[in-house]
């Protein structure tokens, strides 16, 4: 609820001023055109981190569930668990500020520019 004083009332009576709610977090990224080289490098870096780091971690966590039969994983969870892991991993990587994604994206851009002759477009 927004009050006339410009303060937003949150959960359990906590308040957050309107200015802080709309201000970007420290380290927030500016939007990048997904068709630009920067956007393509960022997407490739996000996919790599998702598939090689976050997804295997989620798989290990899911497989370590040793709960008794009514609470253990059923056939549906066993069948569709990997799809859920993939979706969660993609969302986690895109929603959080993984520093490794930024580093991989910048390295991809550097190496891609170093190996591309001027005037050629590999993505055309």
**pLDDT tens-digit map of 72-91:** 888 888 899 999 999 999 99
* 7 bridge partner residues: 17
36 near 100, Cβ under 8 Å? no
pLDDT on residue 116: 57
pLDDT on residue 101: 94
Element (H, E) at 75: helix 75-95
**How far is 47 from 27, CA to CA, in rounded Å?**
20
Write down the domain spans for the chain.
Answer: 1-30, 32-114
66 near 73, Cβ under 8 Å? no
User: Which residue has better confidence, 31 or 37?
Assistant: 37
Q: What is the pTM of this model?
A: 0.63
pLDDT on residue 22: 38
pLDDT on residue 24: 45
Q: Give the total residue count for the chain.
A: 124
Give the number of other Cβ atoms within 10 Å of residue 45's Cβ: 22
Return mean pLDDT, the chain.
Answer: 77
């Amino acid at each position: 609820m927004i009050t006339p004083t410009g303060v937003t009332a949150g959960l359990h009576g906590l308040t957050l001023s309107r200015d802080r709610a709309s201000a970007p977090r420290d380290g927030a990224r500016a939007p990048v055109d997904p068709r630009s080289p920067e956007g393509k490098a960022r997407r490739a870096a996000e996919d790599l981190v998702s598939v090689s780091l976050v997804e295997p971690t989620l798989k290990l966590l899911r497989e370590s569930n040793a709960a008794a039969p009514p609470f253990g994983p059923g056939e549906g969870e066993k069948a569709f668990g990997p799809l859920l892991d993939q979706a969660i991993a993609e969302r986690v990587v895109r929603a959080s500020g993984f520093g490794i994604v930024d580093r991989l994206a910048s390295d991809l851009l550097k190496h891609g520019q170093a190996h591309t002759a001027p005037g050629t477009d590999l993505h055309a």
